Amino acid sequence: MRKKDITEKTYHGNLPAKILVNLVLMIFSITCIFPAIWLFYSSMKTKSEFFENPVSLPSALDFSNYINVLQKSDMLLWMKNTARNTFLSLILILLIGFVVGYFVARFDFKGRKLLYAYFLLGMLIPIHAIMIPMYILFTKAGLGDSWYTLIFPYTAFGIPISVFLVESYVQNVPRELEEAAAIDGSSFSRTLFSIILPVCKPILVTIGIIQFFALWNEFTYSLILLSDERLKTISVGLTIFKGQYSTDYPQMMAAMFMAILPAIILYFTFSKQIIKGMVAGAVKG
Amino acid sequence: MKKKLAAVLMSSVLALSLTACGGGETTSTDSNGEQQTQEVQQQQPAEQPTEEKAGNEQVEITITHFNIEEQREQTADYDGFYTMLEAWQEAHPDVKITQSVLATADYETKIQAQAAVGDMPDLFCVKGSWFKNFVSSDLLAPMSGAIEAYEHKDAFREGVFDAATVGNEIYGIPIQFSVSSLVYYNAPMWEEIGYSEFPATWDEIYDAIDKFNEKGITPFSLGNLDKWPAESCILSALGDRYTGNEWTNNIIANNGQSSFTDPEFVSALEHLQNMAQRGAFNADFNTSPTGPAAELYNQGQAAATINGFWNLANINANATDEVKANTKIAILPTVEGGKGAAGSTSGGCGWYMGMAPQEDPEKAALVEDLLMHLGGYEYSVFLTEKYGLVAPSVVEGVDVSTFPPATQEYIKLMQNVQLTPIYDILMDASVIEVMNSDVQELMNGSKDAQTVAEEIQAELDNVGK
């Protein structure tokens, strides 16, 4: 009941307070949304138009920057490469993270805490500290410069957070669920994948989204571990639009807009679940 | 039950790892790093069926560089590189050239990671200040023999091999002849405040700075976010004005006869700080990237910019027509009591291309031939004739009248200018690192000249140990 009271009070509160709250929220939203909008309309401008006034609207709807990007660069190939790396790594991160997270949460075995701490430590390693050792490792092991190269570090770096989130989520799933399943004769793996997995959907979506953005934008490993032009990912590809001494900003923005488009589409498609998942993560995590 | 799950898990992991490995057509089983790279290379034609495979043993040459093809139209050296590469490829259709191209800053990160492992492509760009380290790690093949045998060896400009020489051997071919400090100024803007020519004394420059600031015009545009511009484009030339050439050469040799704490160099630092504090630059100079800063000048919002020769192509391509027509080029004035020669500015070869040591002598000859072509006489002819640049080799008898006005200005100026060493090309890379960061702080006003000088000297002492 108390909860309801608070909500009602906010709705019927005094006007200035409401305006103030909304204003603050609006300003926050604008700081997040404006860059994307600015990116989009600036990509329609010509170079000189852009430098004359970087914030003004374009004089005409001009898609020539997009055509240029598509013609001059391998944008679509980079997107394909990035999509493949992201997709395959995500599957591994979710699968391994879910299973390991569940085990650590439910089973009490020797070294459980140690294992959990070990995974958590993984979140603390700064990427640049192990850049060169990783390069050496991959080159010596003959794993460098292949289509699957990036999946290893991506998965390895994605697992800790996913174990962490799944673990704390499963802690709050009632054990009765599994017990009921066991009484009904469900096998362990069936319980895990047909009963626990659907219950964990919100947290898995959260992990998926967090990791998707991280992987889609990942730069350091793509730069260091790959040399083959045909394996280039989008984050490294984008840098070629930045010249050594001068940059064609509108064209770069056209390329950037294309690069963030999949993320935007994904966001709008899953926005409901993302919000749900984020809340689940926030409360339970 | 646990066992069953473990089995399911194991098999799924196994299945995934199998699919991961199965995709690569040739996974190396060799422990030898060299052979692995070759195997990876051989994979490429297999994946691209359209590629013709001439003969059974196609030689493949790998090049890692920063000449971004997308920027070819705007950048003279990139255009030169591709033109030379295409010509060579045409003459050698049976050789497969595999390029890996990255933007300069990323290139530096990547190639140094590769250098740490010793896993180098056949050809790669080398910064002047890297040679000592790279040579001591056996990453570069000596080029003296090839240069000696080169038919146009006499055309190379004096001193172009200085940075690439370690001991008595030369290890790289210059691919960029840099003049790092030039003052591009918008002549009518300076006329308006009473200077029909670029001022010949610093007093006049400071006077102009005040006048421009009163009018709300940026006197000099500078984008020092990346830290090197202030050091390379201003301090390199300004420092020489105070210290003279000999001092710089002593520092480069690190022979203990000169020090950064010498009063001349400290004065140069003070001078630079003074410029920043008097408002010589755009207010955001330390946080602005080079591009937008150059645009300030290109769009007529700054009266001048102190920049390298590369900015010429930028002006010709991006400036408004008015700025293009009005741009004149000068060098920084001398300072009172300074030891440096008048009429000189910092210049020399910035980037070289080097070749990794080769095991197969036949391939070595081929790679060497390509390298001499990429940085040889034809390259200079191309840069000089098409862009009017001062190139690594001297090319005579070029008709300059067809070039844009700013380029003609540059050619005219360069006929009478002597070149002094560019700091970041010839001094030790770690010393430059300290200098770049400290100069940024100096200009911010957060460190004084004496402290900066001491810190740079400490790094130099450290390197000498």
Q: Which of B5, B27, B282 to mutate to test the interface with A (most CBs of A within 10 A)?
A: B5
pLDDT on residue B45: 41
Q: Do A69 and A10 belong to one domain?
A: no
Tokens of A160: 């800790």
C-beta atoms of A245 and B36 within 8 A:
no
Among candidate residues A27, A43, A62, the one where a domain is terminated? A62
Reported confidence tier of residue B396, pLDDT bands at 50, 70, 90 = confident
Q: Do B132 and B212 belong to one domain?
A: no
Task: Kindly report which listed range (A153-157, B423-427, B449-453) carries the lowest average pLDDT score.
Answer: B423-427
Q: Could you give the number of structural domains in chain A? A: 2
pLDDT on residue B26: 35
* pLDDT of B25 over the 60 cut: no
Checking A189-194 for CB contacts under 8 A at 24+ apart, the result is A189/B4, A189/B5, A189/B8, A192/A99, A192/A102, A192/B5
C-beta atoms of A139 and B119 within 8 A:
yes
Q: Which of residues 10-39 of B touch A (CB under 8 A)?
A: 12, 16, 20-21, 23-24, 27-28, 30, 33, 36, 39
Q: Do B67 and B147 belong to one domain?
A: yes
Give mean pLDDT, residues B415-419. 83
Q: Is B221 left (phi over 0), alpha (psi -120 to 50) or beta?
A: beta
Highest mean pLDDT among A177-181, A243-247, B233-237, B339-343: B233-237
* Beta bridge mates, B174: B352
Tokens of B207: 């006077």
Q: Do A9 and A131 belong to one domain?
A: no
Q: What is the largest CA-CA distance in chain B?
A: 92
- Nearest-CB residue to B16 (from A92, A132, A224): A92
Q: Do B270 and B330 belong to one domain?
A: yes
**B12 belongs to a structural domain:** no
Residue of A nearest to B223 (CA): A245
Interface A–B counts its CB contacts (< 8 A) at 125
Give mean pLDDT, residues B199-205. 93
Q: Do A108 and A8 belong to one domain?
A: no
pLDDT on residue B427: 87
Q: Do B359 and B283 belong to one domain?
A: no
Shortest distance between the Cα of A135 and any Cα of chain B, in A, equals 7
pLDDT on residue B56: 52
Single out the residue of B35, B34, B52 nearest to residue B44, CA to CA.
Answer: B52
Q: Do B187 and B169 belong to one domain?
A: no
Percent of chain B with pLDDT over 70: 88
pLDDT on residue A243: 67
- Give the strand pairing for B344-349 and B302-307: unpaired
**B40 belongs to a structural domain:** no
Highest mean pLDDT among A122-136, B27-41, B283-297: B283-297
How would DSSP label each residue in B424-455? Answer: HHHS-HHHHHHHHHHHHHHHHTSS-HHHHHHH
A41-87 tens-digit pLDDT: 999 988 778 877 788 888 888 888 899 888 888 899 999 999 999 99
Single out the residue of B309, B340, B310 nearest to residue B238, CA to CA.
Answer: B340
**Which chain A residues have a beta carbon less than 8 Å from that of B30?**
142
pLDDT on residue A9: 52
> B97 CB near a chain A CB, below 8 Å?
no
Q: Phi first, then psi: give them for residue B417, nearest 5 degrees.
A: -105, 135
Contact B173/B131 with Cβ under 8 angstroms? no
Q: What is the 3-state secondary structure (H, E, C) of chain A?
A: CHHHHHHHHHHHCCHHHHHHHHHHHHHHHHHHHHHHHHHHHHCCCCHHHHHHCCCCCCCCCCCHHHHHHHHHCCHHHHHHHHHHHHHHHHHHHHHHHHHHHHHHHHCCCCCHHHHHHHHHHHCCCCHHHHHHHHHHHHHHCCCCCCCCCCHHHHHHHHHHHHHHHHHHHHHCCCCHHHHHHHHCCCCHHHHHHHHHHHHCHHHHHHHHHHHHHHHHCCCHHHHHHCCCHHHCCHHHHHHHHECCCCECHHHHHHHHHHHHHHHHHHHHHHHHHHHHHHHHHHHHC
pLDDT on residue B189: 95
Single out the residue of B75, B77, B71, B313 nearest to residue A240, CA to CA.
Answer: B71
* pLDDT of B36 over the 80 cut: no
* pLDDT of A10 over the 80 cut: no
Q: Could you give the number of structural domains in chain B? A: 2
**Domain span at residue A101?**
65-284
Shortest distance between the Cα of A229 and any Cα of chain B, in A, equals 6
Residue of B nearest to A46 (CA): B318
Give mean pLDDT, residues B299-326. 90
**Which chain B residues have a beta carbon less than 8 Å from that of A130?**
none
Q: Do A21 and A155 belong to one domain?
A: no
- Nearest-CB residue to A243 (from B71, B110, B299): B71
For residues A157 and B206, what is the distance between their CA atoms, to the nearest angstrom?
55
Q: Do B339 and B455 belong to one domain?
A: yes
- Nearest-CB residue to B318 (from A139, A145, A246): A246
Q: Do B342 and B354 belong to one domain?
A: no
What does the radius of gyration of chain A's CA atoms come to, in whole angstroms?
23
Q: Which of A70, A87, A95, A246 to mutate to test the interface with B (most CBs of B within 10 A)?
A: A246
* pLDDT of A218 over the 70 cut: yes
Q: Do A132 and A262 belong to one domain?
A: yes
| Residue pointed to by tokens 């001094």 | B427
Shortest distance between the Cα of A166 and any Cα of chain B, in A, equals 17
Q: What is the largest CA-CA distance in chain A?
A: 73
For residues B222 and B284, what is the distance between their CA atoms, to the nearest angstrom?
9
Q: Which of B38, B40, B233 to mutate to test the interface with A (most CBs of A within 10 A)?
A: B40
Q: Phi first, then psi: give them for residue B83, nearest 5 degrees.
A: -60, -45
C-beta atoms of A245 and B47 within 8 A:
no
B37-80 tens-digit pLDDT: 333 343 344 444 444 444 456 899 999 999 988 888 778 889 99
Q: Which of B17, B106, B225, B226 to mutate to test the interface with A (most CBs of A within 10 A)?
A: B106
- Nearest-CB residue to B294 (from A140, A239, A245): A245
Listed in sequence order, the residues at least 6 apart from A83 whose beta carbon sits closer than 8 Å to its beta carbon are A262
B345-393 tens-digit pLDDT: 998 888 899 999 999 999 999 999 999 999 999 999 999 888 888 888 8
Q: What is the 3-state secondary structure (H, E, C) of B331-355?
A: CCCCCCCCCCCCCEEEEEECEEEEE
pLDDT on residue B252: 87
- Nearest-CB residue to B100 (from A99, A227, A247): A227
| Angstrom distances, CA of residue A254 to CA of A42, A214, B222 | 8, 21, 27
Q: Do B308 and B430 belong to one domain?
A: yes
**B1 belongs to a structural domain:** no
Q: Do B315 and B459 belong to one domain?
A: yes
Q: Do A39 and A178 belong to one domain?
A: no
| Residue pointed to by tokens 């072509």 | B373
What CATH code is carried by the domain that includes residue B69? 3.40.190.10
**B397 belongs to a structural domain:** no
Q: Compute the residue count for chain A.
A: 285
* pLDDT of B239 over the 60 cut: yes
Task: Kindly report which listed range (A8-12, A128-132, A140-144, B392-396) carries the lowest average pLDDT score.
Answer: A8-12
For residues B347 and B157, what is the distance between their CA atoms, to the nearest angstrom?
12
> B71 CB near a chain A CB, below 8 Å?
yes
Among candidate residues A46, A62, A78, the one where a domain is terminated? A62
Q: What is the DSSP letter of B199?
A: -
pLDDT on residue A11: 55
* Beta bridge mates, B352: B126, B174
Single out the residue of B396, B393, B383 nearest to residue B77, CA to CA.
Answer: B383
ipTM of the complex, rounded to two decimals? 0.71
Q: Do A86 and A58 belong to one domain?
A: no
Listed in sequence order, the residues at least 6 apart from A133 whose beta carbon sits closer than 8 Å to its beta carbon are none
* pLDDT of A284 over the 70 cut: no
Q: Do A250 and A111 belong to one domain?
A: yes
Highest mean pLDDT among A180-189, A275-284, B269-278: B269-278
- Nearest-CB residue to B75 (from A146, A239, A243): A243
Axis-axis angle for helices A151-171, A249-284 (nearest 10): 30
Listed in sequence order, the residues at least 6 apart from B196 whose beta carbon sits closer than 8 Å to its beta carbon are B190
* pLDDT of B32 over the 90 cut: no
pLDDT on residue B51: 40
Percent of chain B with pLDDT over 90: 53
**Which chain A residues have a beta carbon less than 8 Å from that of B117?**
132, 135-136, 139-140
Residue of A nearest to B15 (CA): A92
pLDDT on residue A246: 65
pLDDT on residue B54: 43
Q: Do B72 and B127 belong to one domain?
A: yes
Shortest distance between the Cα of A50 and any Cα of chain B, in A, equals 11
Q: Which of residues 142-201 of B touch A (CB under 8 A)?
A: none
Shortest distance between the Cα of A11 and any Cα of chain B, in A, equals 45
* pLDDT of B292 over the 90 cut: no
Q: From edge to edge, which strands make up the β-sheet containing B327-330?
A: B218-221, B302-307, B182-186, B327-330
pLDDT on residue B103: 86
For residues B85 and B65, what is the distance between their CA atoms, to the nearest angstrom?
12
Q: Do A35 and A71 belong to one domain?
A: no
Contact A185/A151 with Cβ under 8 angstroms? no
Q: Do A271 and A131 belong to one domain?
A: yes
pLDDT on residue B340: 85
> B5 CB near a chain A CB, below 8 Å?
yes
pLDDT on residue B460: 92
Q: What is the DSSP letter of B136?
A: H
Shortest distance between the Cα of A14 and any Cα of chain B, in A, equals 44
Per-chain mean pLDDT for chain A: 86
pLDDT on residue A13: 65
Single out the residue of B164, B174, B104, B171 nearest to residue B143, CA to CA.
Answer: B171
What CATH code is carried by the domain that includes residue A88? 1.10.3720.10
Q: What is the DSSP letter of B83?
A: H
Report chain A residues touching chain B, CB-CB < 8 A. Answer: 47-48, 51-52, 72-73, 92, 95, 99, 131-132, 135-136, 139-140, 142, 144-148, 151, 187-189, 192, 223-224, 227-230, 236, 239-249
* pLDDT of A24 over the 70 cut: yes
CA A258 to chain CA centroid, Å, is 17
Shortest distance between the Cα of B12 and any Cα of chain A, in A, equals 10
B155-201 tens-digit pLDDT: 998 888 988 998 899 999 999 888 999 999 999 999 999 999 999 99
Q: Do A20 and A146 belong to one domain?
A: no
Among candidate residues A47, A62, A77, the one where a domain is terminated? A62
Q: Do A112 and A6 belong to one domain?
A: no
The H or E element that residue B357 is part of is none
B86-115 tens-digit pLDDT: 999 999 999 999 999 988 888 988 898 889
Q: Do B202 and B89 belong to one domain?
A: no
| Angstrom distances, CA of residue A199 to CA of A177, B66, B88, B440 | 10, 50, 63, 55
* pLDDT of A110 over the 80 cut: yes
**Domain span at residue B209?**
179-348+409-464
Q: Do B68 and B204 belong to one domain?
A: no
